[in-house]
Structure 1
């Protein structure tokens, strides 16, 4: 397994979680911060089950503490779901979601995370995931780099 490292994070402030949720709210066009926060926590928790080993730890390093907790709250799955399977699993976890709206929710969160982590770090992460995740991160140009 290749060790994936992302840029070390600077000390987090209380506003980092609030800023992350606000960015998700704006990206996903959620009417309230509470809705954006709920979606963010659910998606991060689910995504924590997709990530494994070094990529999981490295990605957690670039997140605010609250987001890191959500990401690490889920035990990694025994297999990595495809992007489609991941979205379908989120549809069952997000109240009232359909596969189409779950894709919107997932993309809203992962787009913000990609922006915050930066393209090189996100590309390294995507290269360790099954095909299709690049689109969920809003990085279609990386489609050919996914393993």
Structure 2
């Protein structure tokens, strides 16, 4: 039995429809419309958290429709930790913390692939703790 991951699909130049299809498949959502609702909710939340050059650079790498949702948000003055981000998404969408965690991880993993390694590293350096796993990266902490 092989434990290799599935095929890595190209993300450069991804259209919004391709992004929705990837999220629908990875998140096991029943319809593309449901995937679209999740993508919009998570991107809006991320748009409220990210500022500066990382915000501009990420918007440039997202499909136009996704970039619009993301960039339209006014950043909150108080950044949320990864856990608070998930709780906030659950409250805004009426979901449970478990489904909000699933939704967030599904979308942000795709966003992280679109961002690429270097930009994602910069994004994670800007955000409070807890976002690494949401983007599909291990989050290592130094021992005290």
TM-score (norm 2): 0.85
Distance 1:143 1:63 in 2: 27
Instruction: Provide, for residues 12-39 of structure 1, a one-character-per-residue CA deviation record: whole Å limited to 9, x for no partner.
Output: 6xx7000011111111110100000010
The structure with the largest alpha-carbon Rg is: 2
- Determine the structure 1 residue equivalent to 2:117: 119
Counterpart position of 2:106: 108
The alignment status of 1:68 with 2:67, answered yes or no, reads yes
Give the TM-score taking structure 1 as reference length: 0.83
Q: For structure 1, which runs of at least 5 residues remain unmatched after alignment?
A: 1-9
Separation in structure 2 between the aligned mates of residue 16 and residue 29 of structure 1, nearest angstrom: 19
Q: CA RMSD in A?
A: 1.6
How many aligned positions are there?
131
1:1-60, Cα deviation, whole Å (9 max, x unpaired): xxxxxxxxx7x6xx7000011111111110100000010001101110000122211111
Point out 4+ residue stretches in structure 1 off by more than 2 angstroms. 142-145
Q: CA deviation at 1:110?
A: 0.1
Which 5+ residue runs of structure 2 have no aligned equivalent? 1-11
